[in-house]
Amino acid sequence: MSQHGRQIDEFMEAILWFSLILFAIWFSFFVYALYRFRADKSPKASYEGLKADWPKHLEWSIVFVEMVLLFGFSVPLWGNRVLDPPGPGEAVTLEAVAQQFGWIFHYPGPDGRLGRRDMRLADGMNPIGLDKTDPASKDDIITMNEMHVPVGKPVLIYLGSRDVVHNYYVIQMRIQRDAVPGLTIPVWFTPTHTGRFEIACGQLCGVGHFAMKGFLVVDTQSDYEAWLKDMSQLSQVAPPTGEKVIARQ
């Protein structure tokens, strides 16, 4: 359901096949050893062991293959995922702030700029501490437990937390990243299919952890724009509180 998801799945599949081949080889060797070194064929154990050089070479080649797997495939794949975020211009950018027990999403609005936030300003009416004196925050849109994105475009989410460590986890997108209080942690993906997907919290964050559920809705571009317009009007009518937005769903 996301562009990089296929890469991860194919890599996992390759490792599974590789493990299966290794298993077959080692299991045949095990059966061979059971037969070859059966009791009546080698009644006395050899205390000298094997003198040949080939086991040493075999072990070094296994080390080599594993190094290639680790530094040739795993590290670059991981690096590609964590070091190369899409530029702010090319991605739909928003913030996701986790709290016990839900998600607050913060969109930049028509000006494309996220308003300044300061947790010291947070209260019941302003759960993410948006600074209302910052001009960039005037048109910002805040939604509770449901975020929308357009299909086929990179999405860049800055994760934050109001209280404890949570974890933004959308299994269909092959995305999982911690939301840590005091830090802003980027996570990104490009959805390839429309649909409604559950956002789970992947860290045991308190007694209500099981109920901490959000939704990621991947829309067509026009549906996404309509939803954004709707939410923007709602934000202008009343200060965004969780209850009002939830009531609309």
Residue 164: CB minimum distance to Cu ion, A: 7
Could you give the C-alpha distances from 224 to 38, 43, 194, 196, 219, in angstroms and in order? 70, 77, 11, 13, 5
Residue 166: CB minimum distance to Cu ion, A: 3
Which of 97, 147, 201, 218 is the binder for Cu ion (CB under 5 A)? 201
Residue 82 Cα to chain centre, angstroms = 10
In terms of CB distance, is 173 or 201 closer to Cu ion?
201
Range in contact with Cu ion (rule: CB under 5 A) among 5-13, 57-65, 153-161, 209-217: 209-217
What does the CA dihedral 203, 121, 149, 216 come to, rounded to 10 degrees?
30
Which of 130, 212, 231, 245 is the binder for Cu ion (CB under 5 A)? 212
In terms of CB distance, is 92 or 128 closer to Cu ion?
128
Range in contact with Cu ion (rule: CB under 5 A) among 32-40, 84-92, 145-153, 198-206: 198-206
130 contacts Cu ion (rule: CB under 5 A):
no
Residue 148: CB minimum distance to Cu ion, A: 21
Nearest of 228, 239, 214, 243 to residue 99 by alpha carbon: 214
Which of 141, 205, 216, 231 is the binder for Cu ion (CB under 5 A)? 205
Residue 206: CB minimum distance to Cu ion, A: 7
Radius of gyration of the chain (CA): 26
Query: Do 215 and 147 form a contact (C-beta atoms < 8 A)?
Result: yes
Footprint (CB under 5 A) of Cu ion, residues 155-194: 166
In terms of CB distance, is 105 or 224 closer to Cu ion?
105
Range in contact with Cu ion (rule: CB under 5 A) among 68-76, 201-209, 214-222, 226-234: 201-209
For tokens 């990179």, name the residue: 154
Nearest of 91, 75, 92, 82 to residue 175 by alpha carbon: 82
| Cα gap 13→9, rounded to integer Å | 6
| Cα gap 137→159, rounded to integer Å | 18
* Residues in touch with Cu ion (CB under 5 A): 166, 201, 205, 212
